[in-house]
Amino acid sequence: MRKTSLNSVTKLAKKDKRVIFIGSDLGAGTMDEFQKNYPDRFFMEGIAEQNMIGMAAGLAMDGYIPYLNTIASFITRRCLEQITIDLCLHNLPVRLLGNGGGLVYAPLGPTHLAPDDIALMRTLPNMTIVAPSDAMEMAAIMKETLELPGPVYIRLGKGGDPVVFPKGGKVKIGKALELREGRHAIFISTGIMSHRALVAAEMLAKKGLDCAVIHFHTIKPLDHKAILAAASEFPIIITLEEHSSVGGLGSAVSEVLVDNGPFPRLKILRLSLPDSFQKNYGSQDALLEAAGLHPKNIAKTLLNTMFGA
């Protein structure tokens, strides 16, 4: 997914001279092709994220569309004030590509994890937030980012994530994508968790429970219509995200439902990461499983919620 997004930046640069790339201190060889073909528009600016954002703001004020890339925790937390003021207050077309949103950097520990990126970005007016499910969807979304007038945060997964994006599918920023129809319950998921929702739905289907899955590649602006439709059609909504329980998709969906309710017969189940620092290392999968986000855990939790333990 990361490779696809960066390759997409190179393709966009070919098509549009306003496209600029700024990295912090990325791995050797990253964006070689971009650098080779468009050296004037390639910047590798060292471990100085605050400056990277401000510099991008200045370039965007003068007509450029900078795509910035570094690790998700650093491109959000380290320079939050610069993102807030330089990008969002000025409402400038700067794109932030955050490597490893969520738990991708599991072995590296809490300093490198980004279970809070969506929450941080979601508080910022004018910000668009996307979390594609896989490389195919990433490619489709990257094309859409070019002409967006304001700043965009793009959450990148690990790479090699199972593809759930329908072949020939179309994306529209801000519009949720139905991945599976169902009758008994609906998963509202984002990022790589949409694949897990589909796997859990298959498991549940074998037990006679027919679950829909709707994928939110865009978390801001949020597709209120899709959420309200789900609330009126299903007795239970399960939000699913690789993100803290504070401020992510589950929070966003809950806010929409509270503001537009009441939905007296609706049960909302929020499946997310706990509001705590990770104490373990291992792999992304292992950390997700420990948080109850393995498809088999997801299916079990839903069954327990609906029918009791």
Partner 1 sequence: MLDQPTTPKLIYPDTPSLDKRSRYLRKLVLRAMIGGGRGHPGSALSLIEILRTLYDDILDIKADKPDWNKRDRCILSKGHGCLALYAILADKDFFPVTELDNFCHFDSILGGHPERGKIPGVEASTGALGHGLSIGVGHAIAAKLQNRKSRSVVVMGDGEINEGSVWEAAMTASKHRLDNLIAVIDYNKLQSYGPTKQVMDMEPMADKWQAFGFTVLQVDGHNVAELKKAFKKPPKKNRPTAVICHTIKGKGLPPAENNPTWHHKSRITDEQFKQLHQALEEN
Interface residue list for partner 1 (CB under 8 A): 40-41, 45-46, 48, 50-64, 81-82, 85-86, 89-90
The CA-to-CA distance between both ends of the chain, in Å, stands at 38
Q: How far is the CB of 20 from partner 1 (least distance, A)?
A: 9
Is the CB of 64 or the CB of 165 nearer to partner 1?
64
Closest CA to 88 of 122, 116, 124, 119: 124
- In the complex, what is the shortest distance from the CB of residue 116 to partner 1, in angstroms, rounded to a whole number? 21
Of 79 and 113, which has the nearer Cβ to partner 1?
Answer: 79
Q: How far is the CB of 61 from partner 1 (least distance, A)?
A: 7
Query: Least CB distance from residue 140 to partner 1, whole Å?
Result: 29
The nearer residue to partner 1, 85 or 268, going by C-beta atoms, is 85
What is the helix (H) or strand (E) element at residue 129, kind and residue range?
strand 128-130
Tell me whether residue 79 or residue 177 sits nearer to partner 1 (CB atom): 79
The nearest distance, CB 149 to partner 1, in angstroms, is: 13
φ and ψ at residue 202, rounded to 5 degrees: -65, -45
With respect to partner 1, which residue has the nearer C-beta, 60 or 156? Answer: 60
CB of 93 to partner 1, least distance (A): 13
Q: Which is nearer to partner 1, 46 or 274 (CB)?
A: 46
Alpha helices, DSSP H only, in the chain? Answer: 2-15, 32-37, 49-61, 72-76, 80-82, 117-122, 135-145, 193-206, 224-233, 249-260, 284-290, 295-307
